[in-house]
């Protein structure tokens, strides 16, 4: 079931982040804010950036700062 897989993936990411000493980032994501800046999360430019949020919890602005934006290419 797809929902079960997504739930397990989310729980794994959470456990990995906590084990890596990123419990503050986990708390922020669980509160619905960016793991990096604690700001609002969306909107996202596309599905790729939305998926990246699910992995690392960064808002679009922080993703652009860390990975660069389309204007940087």
37-52 confidence digits (pLDDT tens): 999 998 999 999 999 9
| pTM exceeds 0.85, yes or no | no
pLDDT of residue 37: 95
Main-chain dihedrals φ then ψ at residue 68, nearest 5 degrees:
90, 155
Q: How far, in Å, CA of 56 to CA of 8, rounded?
A: 15
pLDDT at 71 over 80: no
Distance CA 1, CA 65 (A): 35
Cβ neighbour number for residue 67 with a 10 Å cutoff: 11
Residue range 2-56, pLDDT digits in tens: 666 666 766 777 788 888 888 898 889 888 899 999 999 989 999 999 999 888 8
């Amino acid at each position: 079931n797809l929902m079960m897989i997504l739930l397990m993936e989310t729980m794994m990411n959470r456990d990995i982040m906590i084990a890596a000493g990123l419990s503050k980032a986990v708390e922020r994501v669980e509160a619905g804010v960016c793991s990096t800046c604690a700001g609002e999360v969306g909107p996202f430019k596309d599905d790729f950036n939305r998926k990246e949020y699910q992995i690392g919890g960064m808002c679009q602005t922080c993703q652009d700062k860390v990975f660069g934006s389309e204007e940087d290419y």
